[in-house]
């Protein structure tokens, strides 16, 4: 199996950082705490906090499931497209 390149990893890290910023801004606009969003989404507070930091684990960019993102968007009462950054990176292996 082919491995991802450093450029692809950097692109995903940047995308995850934008996702984190979007989550934080929308949550603050909804006047909810991280704990509120986490609990209502079925996540632990720690997991949700990591997503707002753009991480899944220390040093690894966030990679939440579609189910998780849908749950969060429903709690925040926004569409999934409002959470996701506009320009998705090209993740195809070359």
pLDDT at 4: 54
Find the domain containing 74 and state its range.
6-83
Rounded CA separation 43/3 (Å): 30
User: Of the candidates 52, 89, 93, 43, which has an alpha carbon nearest to the alpha carbon of residue 70?
Assistant: 43
The domain spanning residue 37 has which CATH number? 1.10.260.40
Q: How many domains does the chain have?
A: 1
- For 16-72, how does the pLDDT look when each residue is reduced to its tens digit (9 = 90+)? 999 999 999 999 999 999 999 999 999 999 999 999 999 988 888 999 999 999 999
pLDDT at 89: 87
| Residue 19: inside a domain | yes
* Whole-structure pTM value: 0.87
End-to-end Cα distance, the chain: 12
């Amino acid at each position: 199996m082919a491995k991802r390149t450093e450029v692809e990893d950097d692109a995903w890290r940047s995308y995850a950082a934008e996702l984190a910023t979007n989550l934080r801004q929308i949550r603050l606009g909804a006047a909810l705490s991280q704990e509120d969003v986490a609990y209502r989404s079925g996540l632990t507070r720690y997991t949700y906090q990591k997503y707002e930091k753009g991480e899944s684990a220390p040093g690894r960019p966030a990679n939440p499931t579609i189910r998780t993102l849908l749950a969060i968007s429903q709690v925040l009462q926004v569409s999934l497209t409002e959470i996701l950054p506009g320009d998705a990176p090209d993740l195809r292996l070359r």
